Amino acid sequence: MFQWVSQRREADYDMVIMDPPSIIKSRKDAENGKRAYHFLNRAALRLVRDGGIFATSSCSQLLPEDDFAALLRRAATQSNTRLYTLTALRQPPDHPVSPYFPEGAYLKSYVFEVRRKAGGAPSGE
């Protein structure tokens, strides 16, 4: 996946779905894992046409949702895109999260509309 996405540069797709396996397996992998998620999302964003849809997920329990959102914002800025959130998804109720184990909130997904034009508002606005 890393090789394929890094070899493409053109915004050829109306929709790109980024759903990698869990990249951060242990706390010692956290920084390298965040860099990997950033790289993949930034590279994938380059492939989405203006007005297209970008769906991305992380199932790494050691990547908090705030950190995931921050790296998505940075990837969007670096790929000269603006992201408009269409929906944010989390794991279903049959995977409850204990307040004593926040890492149990492992599944984080977003669906965005991608805009490349300066000042362009999403199609629904």
What amino acid positions are annotated as catalytic residues? 59
DSSP string, the chain: -HHHHHH--S--EEEEEE-PPP---SGGGHHHHHHHHHHHHHHHHTTEEEEEEEEEEE--TTS-HHHHHHHHHHHHHHTT-EEEEEEEEE--TTS---TT-GGG---EEEEEEEE-STTPPPTT-
